[in-house]
């Protein structure tokens, strides 16, 4: 199906700079689908990432086996810091999992055309991140084999979960989010899977993609139903973007631990989640541009826009940091004030300043266009945000070390098993994501085709939103 460039001719650049290069319907589809069909050779770097991911995943397996054998005491958690890395990582991953749905649902409803080339892998990122996140609350339980007691399962002992507990809300929030994200992602994939079926290079691909495409023929009625469903799912997904991290923040805000018990947490957490989610999008987009040559679809414009979202949410998060301190002193509560002082200058003060540096100060570089449009600088800033957002959760959890009663003040130090589990979850993410890159279209073929200007055979925008008008 490959068509030489000279046959297509040259087109004027995309008015918004969202697609570069000389693309028409065919070249676009080919570029994305040949990665999956194997016609484009898999970059060597893929193997580096994949094997790293598998290696780390093995760490996770070992860590979990030992964890289930011995108990959560292999971690550094203690009295008074009964939550440690597991919860830090949970919130961190959940936060990362936020950008996908935001991009695919909210930006869709907001008519943001630039979402088109990044939504697919961002959604995949969301699903994998939520899977990593979901792992932690399960394994952090003292008796993980009883996890189903947190769910309203009608069992013979006639007990329901305790609905006042934010952890119960968490179960609903996270499972709902995961379900909707997966459905949304899969529904979006169906036309692409059909396209892959049609260009499949061997029987296996044909069968597998054929089954996954669920009989998609591209008829008008198919398109109509598809677009309606996609829109409905976007509408369902939109509130979830806010609800998940709001509920996660309740884990802290409902508690009476000083500096946890705060109404700022829900918006603050949501902003932080979007912040880290976009940082992760950047982290995934830049290698795709570099190693898969997707720079013509994920353009500097995209990076620029992601960076703008980051600086906005970053400022919101920084405002949250300021407000936490402000409210502590404004409250005149000795516990709030002293705990703030401990947070800044106590034994874990360093982590607070790491947080402020990486999450508030370094991202100010994004005010510069040069930073926003330079792959590597942006990657560095996004890395800083990853560190910062991780430390934000660390700082919150570590607040437990010094609460109301000085007699029970303590400290927390992670063990090798904590680190192994954390790295292992990264391995799980990398493995899943590299597999996704290899076996599923990383960019939506359908939507990109629709997105092409009329001249190039597209419809100059997103069909769904245009049809909905």
By the rule CB under 8 A, 233 interacts with another protein: no
**Is-contact 324 262, C-beta < 8 A?**
yes
Closest approach of Cβ 282 to another protein, in Å?
33
**Is-contact 249 269, C-beta < 8 A?**
yes
Q: Which residues contact 84 (CB under 8 A, 6 or more apart)?
A: 75, 76, 77, 397, 412, 414, 418
By the rule CB under 8 A, 72 interacts with another protein: yes
Closest approach of Cβ 136 to another protein, in Å?
12
Supply the angle between the helices 300-331 and 334-345 in degrees, to the nearest 10.
130
CA distance 298 to 203: 31
**Is-contact 312 270, C-beta < 8 A?**
no
Q: Which 368-407 positions form the footprint of another protein (CB under 8 A)?
A: 400, 403-407
Q: Pick from 275, 283, 272, 295: which is nearest to 121 by CA?
A: 283
The DSSP secondary structure of 224-246, one letter per residue, reads: HHHHHHHHHHHHHHHHHHHHHHH
The DSSP secondary structure of 398-428, one letter per residue, reads: HGGGS-S-GGG-------HHHHHHHHHHHHH
Q: Which is nearer to another protein, 184 or 265 (CB)?
A: 265
In this chain, which of 79, 156, 202, 219 binds another protein, going by CB under 8 A? Answer: 79
Closest approach of Cβ 34 to another protein, in Å?
48
Closest approach of Cβ 256 to another protein, in Å?
5
Q: Pick from 105, 125, 241, 216: which is nearest to 445 by CA?
A: 216
Number of residues in contact with another protein, rule: CB under 8 A? 58
Q: For residue 43, what are its two tokens?
A: 């970059």
CA dihedral sign, ordered 150, 152, 153, 156: positive
Closest approach of Cβ 206 to another protein, in Å?
46
Burial of 146 (0-12, 13-18, 19+ CB in 10 A): exposed
By the rule CB under 8 A, 85 interacts with another protein: no
CA distance 211 to 440: 14
Q: Which is nearer to another protein, 243 or 364 (CB)?
A: 243
Q: Which is nearer to another protein, 5 or 263 (CB)?
A: 263
CA distance 378 to 393: 23
Element (H, E) at 369: helix 369-373
In this chain, which of 182, 229, 254, 435 binds another protein, going by CB under 8 A? Answer: 254
Q: For residue 168, what are its two tokens?
A: 């119960």
By the rule CB under 8 A, 354 interacts with another protein: no
By the rule CB under 8 A, 333 interacts with another protein: yes
Closest approach of Cβ 394 to another protein, in Å?
15
By the rule CB under 8 A, 447 interacts with another protein: no
Residue for token pair 């003292």: 142
In this chain, which of 113, 222, 308, 411 binds another protein, going by CB under 8 A? Answer: 411
Closest approach of Cβ 23 to another protein, in Å?
51
Q: Which 137-166 positions form the footprint of another protein (CB under 8 A)?
A: 137, 140-144, 146-147, 149-150, 159-162, 164-166
By the rule CB under 8 A, 202 interacts with another protein: no
Q: Which is nearer to another protein, 324 or 336 (CB)?
A: 336
By the rule CB under 8 A, 52 interacts with another protein: no
Q: Which is nearer to another protein, 157 or 454 (CB)?
A: 157
In this chain, which of 54, 187, 255, 435 binds another protein, going by CB under 8 A? Answer: 255
In this chain, which of 182, 316, 341, 423 binds another protein, going by CB under 8 A? Answer: 341
339 to 214, 266, 316, 346, 429: CA distances (angstroms):
56, 20, 23, 9, 35
**Assign residue 281 a region: left if phi > 0, alpha if psi is -120 to 50, beta otherwise?**
alpha
By the rule CB under 8 A, 2 interacts with another protein: no
Closest approach of Cβ 169 to another protein, in Å?
9
**Which positions touch another protein (CB under 8 A)?**
70-74, 76-83, 137, 140-144, 146-147, 149-150, 159-162, 164-168, 171, 251, 254-257, 332-335, 337-338, 341, 347, 400, 403-413
């Amino acid at each position: 199906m490959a068509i030489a460039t000279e046959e297509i001719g040259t087109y004027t650049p995309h008015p918004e700079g969202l697609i570069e290069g000389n693309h028409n319907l065919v070249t676009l589809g080919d570029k994305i689908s040949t990665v999956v069909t194997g016609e484009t050779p898999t970059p060597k770097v893929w193997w580096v990432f994949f094997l790293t991911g598998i290696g780390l995943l093995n760490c996770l397996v070992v860590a979990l086996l030992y964890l289930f054998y011995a108990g959560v005491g292999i971690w550094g958690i203690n009295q008074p810091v009964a939550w440690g890395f597991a919860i830090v990582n949970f919130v961190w991953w959940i936060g990362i999992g936020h950008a996908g749905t935001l991009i695919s649902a909210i930006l869709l409803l907001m008519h943001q055309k630039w979402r088109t080339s990044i939504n697919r892998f961002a959604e995949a990122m969301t699903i994998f991140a939520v899977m990593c996140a979901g792992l932690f609350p399960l394994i952090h339980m003292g008796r993980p084999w009883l996890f189903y007691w947190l769910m309203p399962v009608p069992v013979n002992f006639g007990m329901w979960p305790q609905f006042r507990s934010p952890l119960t809300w968490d179960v609903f929030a996270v499972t709902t989010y995961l379900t909707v994200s997966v459905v949304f992602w899969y529904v979006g994939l169906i036309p692409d899977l059909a396209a892959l079926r049609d260009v499949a290079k061997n029987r296996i691909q044909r069968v597998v993609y054929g089954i996954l495409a669920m009989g998609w023929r591209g008829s008008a009625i198919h398109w109509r139903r598809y677009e309606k469903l996609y829109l409905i799912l976007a509408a369902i997904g939109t509130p979830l973007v806010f609800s998940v991290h709001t509920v996660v923040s309740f884990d802290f805000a409902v508690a009476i631990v000083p500096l946890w018990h705060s109404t700022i947490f829900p918006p603050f957490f949501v902003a932080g989640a979007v912040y880290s989610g976009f940082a992760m999008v950047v982290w995934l987009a830049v290698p795709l541009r570099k190693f898969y040559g997707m720079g013509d679809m994920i353009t500097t414009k995209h990076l620029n826009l992601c960076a703008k979202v980051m600086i906005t949410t970053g400022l919101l998060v920084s405002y949250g940091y300021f407000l936490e301190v402000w409210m502590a002193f404004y409250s005149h509560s000795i516990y709030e004030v002293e705990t703030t002082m401990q947070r800044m200058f106590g034994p874990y003060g360093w982590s607070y300043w790491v947080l402020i540096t990486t999450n508030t100060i370094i991202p100010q570089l994004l005010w510069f266009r040069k930073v926003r449009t330079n792959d590597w600088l942006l990657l560095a800033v996004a890395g800083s945000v990853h560190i910062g957002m991780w430390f934000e959760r660390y700082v919150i959890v570590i607040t437990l070390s010094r609460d109301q009663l000085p007699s029970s003040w303590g400290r927390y130090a992670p063990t090798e098993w904590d680190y192994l589990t954390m790295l292992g979850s990264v391995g799980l993410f990398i493995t899943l994501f590299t597999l996704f890159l290899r076996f599923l279209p990383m960019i939506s073929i359908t939507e990109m085709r629709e997105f092409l200007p009329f001249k190039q055979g597209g419809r100059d925008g997103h069909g769904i939103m245009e049809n909905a008008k």
